[in-house]
Amino acid sequence: MSENMQEKWLILTLVGADQPGIVANLTRILFGAGAELGEAAMLRLGNQFAIMLMVRAAGSPETVMGLLESVRAQFDLKLHIDETDAALHEKREPDVLVTVHGADRAGIVADVAGALVEAGFNILDLRSDVGGSTTSPIYIMQIEGEARQGLDKIEQAVSSLNQQGLSVRAVPLDTVRG
């Protein structure tokens, strides 16, 4: 494999109704085609299953799209492929965890993300869910990221959100991932 080919990765994005066999069939085809799998994120959102997967393969995005057509059709998935120069093991480690709880309402993510970016916070991972009951839903969000201007700046930025009925807390993270 040429040096240039070793550096090229594809980012595959697949979305469709959650059902057994998506991951097994997708990875079987990629393995059979000699593709190298890199980092992956796979999760259920509502009743949908979403996959983001780094793949290095001896072929163009169009070739990989053709390889995956049977899986895409079988599971009625939406498939998107992008070329990238991304590389494995170049992860950035979060140094702050921001948690948000409050009565569910429109605009929470925009309000929190806006306050955080103004404080120099770079979001690396965001997960949200709704708990409580249908009559009293509670919005729950966890955000990991980099506090480029320090934790004090983050706390100042979210203080106004706490006054709006949200419980927003920022704590330092000291994690080592293998």
**Alpha carbon 85 to its chain's center:** 18
Place 162 in a pLDDT band, splitting at 50, 70 and 90: confident
Give the mean model confidence (pLDDT) for residues 149-175. Answer: 91
Residue 164, pLDDT score:
87
Q: CA geometry: angle at 130 spanning 20 and 43, to 5°? A: 30
| pLDDT tens sequence across 35-85 | 999 999 999 998 999 999 999 976 889 999 999 999 999 999 999 999 988
Residue 135 backbone phi and psi in degrees, to 5: -90, -25
pLDDT above 70 covers a percentage of the chain that reads 92
Q: CA geometry: angle at 124 spanning 168 and 171, to 5°? A: 35
Residue 86, pLDDT score:
74
Residue 114, pLDDT score:
95
Give the mean model confidence (pLDDT) for residues 101-110. Answer: 92
49 three-state secondary structure: strand
| pLDDT tens sequence across 6-41 | 558 999 999 999 999 999 999 999 999 999 999 999
Query: Lowest-confidence range among 1-10, 52-61, 139-148, 154-163?
Result: 1-10
pLDDT above 90 covers a percentage of the chain that reads 77
Residues 6+ apart with CB under 8 A from 97: 142, 143, 144, 170, 171, 172, 173
HSE of 62, CA atoms in CB hemisphere, 13 A: 0
pTM, entire model: 0.78
Give the mean model confidence (pLDDT) for residues 113-121. Answer: 95
